[in-house]
Amino acid sequence: MDSKNRAKWACFGEIFEAVAQQGIDELDAVEALLAALRNGLRAYGYRRQFTFNESGKVERLPRDIYPQPVPVAIWRDSGTPKGDLTSIWQDDPEEPEVWISIDWVSGAVESLDWELTNFEHLRTDFSAIRIPRKEADHLLSDLAGRPKKRAGRPLGPSSPWEKEQVAAALRMIDGGDTRPATAIATGLTDTALIGKALESQQRRLTWGIKTALTGNAKNSANNKRD
């Protein structure tokens, strides 16, 4: 895998290293990650599968050489995370025939289930489990309590009143007003605004006036005939 593609993913180990560095409670991080996985966040890992015969465990070949999606059922049936950052579920604590074991920090899953086609035990292991880095960053931000980034206000007029002010500016220019767009916008701002709110509206009106003038100029050039 090239470095550019690798940068798109975050392994569980990286996530919990960041958790430790940022002073986030590790069990809280496990529970948040598990909740996201149960809700559909896709995780991928390197998979190995084994069946069993009289001589013991036999690996199914060929082995997967690319990360495979971890089934959502693994997360939904995995049981409650424990303080040592593992999760273990068994169908029967005395004589388990179906079980799931997760080591969250190392990003490893081991599971044993019945394969229904020939009704034999199938063990499936996943290692180096990872999720999209973007989702990992969102998860860490939420756990650290950092506010989410909000989309900025539009560059141009963002209300019917501001759009009408831009239209008024264009009428003024058509009537012979030769002042720069910034000066015209300054005269058309809401007189009740002060400080940053006033400056922001001036910028939006100026942007709207200049954009409209540029569009009118292009239309005029396109409509010219030889």
**What digits encode the pLDDT tens for the residues 175-184?**
999 999 889 9
d(CA 3, CA 175): 60
H/E stretch holding 165 reads helix 160-174
| Band of pLDDT at residue 217, cut at 50, 70 and 90 | low
Note the pTM of the prediction, 2 decimals: 0.63
d(CA 101, CA 74): 9
Question: What is the residue-averaged pLDDT of the chain?
Answer: 87
Q: How many CB atoms lie within 10 A of CB 201?
A: 22
Q: What pLDDT does 223 receive? A: 54
d(CA 128, CA 11): 6
Q: Is the pLDDT of residue 54 over 50?
A: yes
Is the distance from CB of 105 to CB of 87 less than 8 angstroms?
A: no
Q: What pLDDT does 1 receive? A: 47
CA distances from 60 to 49, 53, 64, 82 (A): 6, 12, 10, 31
